[in-house]
Amino acid sequence: MISVIGYYTTKFGELWEKSLFDLVEEALFGVLKECHIEKGKIDAIFFGNMMGGTLENNLHSPSKIAEIMGTHIPVFRAEAACASGGAAFHLAHTYLEANTGKTVLVIGAEKMTDYSPEEVISALTAASSGEEQESGLTFPGLYAMMAQVYLQKYNYSKIDLSYVSYKNHYHGSLNDKAHFRKKISLQEIESSPLVAYPLGVLDCSPISDGASAIIMTSDKTLLSKQKKAIRVLSTEVATDTISLKNRKFIDGIEATQIAGKKAFHKAGIEPDSIQIAELHDCFSIAELFAMEDLGFWKKGSAGKRISLLETMLNSGNSLTTNTSGGLKAAGHPVGATGIKQIGEVYLQLTKQAGSRQVKNAKKGLTHNIGGSGGTAIVSIFGV
């Protein structure tokens, strides 16, 4: 059995005084301290990061991490666009399945605010197809195209998307590590300046800096000493075409459906057994897709059900989503996101989530997407 035994995250936001590796250093030593573990107990490190090469001209980050930590253990970097954190976690899990009695550190980090929005958008766009890049498309643009088909097919309008941001900003207001801690009104969201029609700036996750880290173990002796641990019940990855144009459908994400189905099957539970989920809400429409593709809500019903705020904290319903604030309010330092999602589930299941604690949360799910749905990673955890 593989368990997550600790979590640490830096604040997410515009952290001008900190470099990528300052953030990495804070998270590395932060999580070791949190778990009261000596660095010598760590057998390997997995690092999720997307743009160290394209934006900062910093490759070979595993060696830099070894330098920071003062170690000679194996360190690997995983890249799968916005699912880089989830990919690092998945690989770390595979490593532990193959090596019993070992302990690994998984860290995700991204530094994005040193550059102009156009430069960051160009770097992010490198994760789309060549043809998409040539036509001037961006990720907001690709999700906007997906939203257009969904809204028209199920007879919804732009206003129906706003509830996702409304809910997630409320949750973010309760998370002291979140990029944005301000509640926003539905009217502010609807009237926010357009990024890619129909998505406005308040439908989009921000450009953030941050680093998050967890420690995982398959070492029974070490686990028995840890008071707060959660079990990994399953973690599954599915992929799809990098280009949106040849997908079977674009009013949802097939890779989520495939990874989700496999993750539920392996964990031996149904969607209704989950109390908390961290979903990849890079854009408002993406959380609606996730709810339907993971089988929480029926296809085409999310536009209506989100307006009832069924998944908001203290709504009295069985499932609460994105208590961290999601990518929208907690922020989206790309490589860190997948690890922060797991960290939030860890805090919730070990009852350390403070004012955003969901009562009696026993099972949690994380959903991390790369690009417009070319990679999907779904993981399920329990106590």
Partner 1 sequence: MMISPVKIWRRQKEIRSLLHKKGTVLSWTFIYAPPEEFKKNAPYAVVLVALDNGERAFGQLVECDKDSIKIGMPVYSILRKVREVSAEDIIAYGLKFKPYEKN
Question: Minimal CA–CA distance to 217: which of 204, 206, 230?
Answer: 230
Whether 204 sits among the annotated catalytic residues: the reply is: no
Per-residue interface string for the shown chain with partner 1, residues 226-245, x marking contact by CB under 8 A: ------------------xx
Per-residue interface string for the shown chain with partner 1, residues 162-201, x marking contact by CB under 8 A: -------------------------------xxxxxx---
Strands 230-239 and 276-278 turn out to be unpaired
In the three-class reduction of DSSP (H, G, I as helix; E, B as strand; rest coil), residue 286 is classed as helix
d(CA 181, CA 162): 17
The pair of three-digit structure tokens given for residue 279, joined into one six-digit string: 């979903």
Please answer whether residues 285 and 147 qualify as being in contact, where contact means their C-beta atoms are separated by less than 8 angstroms: yes
Q: In this complex, which beta carbon is closest to partner 1, that of residue 225 or of residue 245? A: 245
CB of 291 to partner 1, least distance (A): 21
Per-residue interface string for the shown chain with partner 1, residues 82-121, x marking contact by CB under 8 A: ----------------------------------xxxx-x
Restricted to residues 123-142, the positions that interact with partner 1 (CB under 8 A) are 125, 130-138, 140-141
Q: In this complex, which beta carbon is closest to partner 1, that of residue 196 or of residue 291? A: 196
Q: In this complex, which beta carbon is closest to partner 1, that of residue 76 or of residue 115? A: 115
Question: Rounded to the nearest 10 degrees, what angle do helices 158-172 and 139-153 cross at?
Answer: 120
Q: Is 314 in the site for partner 1 (CB under 8 A)?
A: no
Whether 82 sits among the annotated catalytic residues: the reply is: yes
Cβ-Cβ contacts under 8 Å for 123 (sequence gap 6 or more): 51, 54, 55, 115
In the three-class reduction of DSSP (H, G, I as helix; E, B as strand; rest coil), residue 381 is classed as strand
CB of 225 to partner 1, least distance (A): 49
d(CA 383, CA 214): 16
CB of 327 to partner 1, least distance (A): 17
- Scored b (16 or more CB within 10 A) or e, 138-155 reads bbbbbbbbbbbebbeebe
Number of residues that bind partner 1 (CB under 8 A): 34
E runs forming strands in 225-343: 230-239, 276-278, 320-321
CB of 235 to partner 1, least distance (A): 32
Q: In this complex, which beta carbon is closest to partner 1, that of residue 144 or of residue 215? A: 144
Cα separation of the two ends of the chain: 12
The active-site residue, picked from 169, 179, 280, 332, is: 332
The active-site residue, picked from 82, 169, 179, 280, is: 82
Q: Is 81 in the site for partner 1 (CB under 8 A)?
A: no
CB of 321 to partner 1, least distance (A): 26
Cβ-Cβ contacts under 8 Å for 62 (sequence gap 6 or more): 45, 47, 75, 76, 77
CB of 218 to partner 1, least distance (A): 43
Per-residue interface string for the shown chain with partner 1, residues 361-380, x marking contact by CB under 8 A: --------------------
d(CA 373, CA 253): 6
Q: In this complex, which beta carbon is closest to partner 1, that of residue 129 or of residue 322? A: 129
The pair of three-digit structure tokens given for residue 227, joined into one six-digit string: 């008071």
d(CA 131, CA 247): 15
Q: In this complex, which beta carbon is closest to partner 1, that of residue 66 or of residue 145? A: 145
Provide the H-helix boundaries in 154-204: 158-172, 186-190
CB of 367 to partner 1, least distance (A): 23
Active centre residues (catalytic): 82, 332
Residue ranges binding partner 1 (CB under 8 A)? 116-119, 121-122, 125, 130-138, 140-141, 144-146, 148-149, 152, 193-198, 244-246, 250
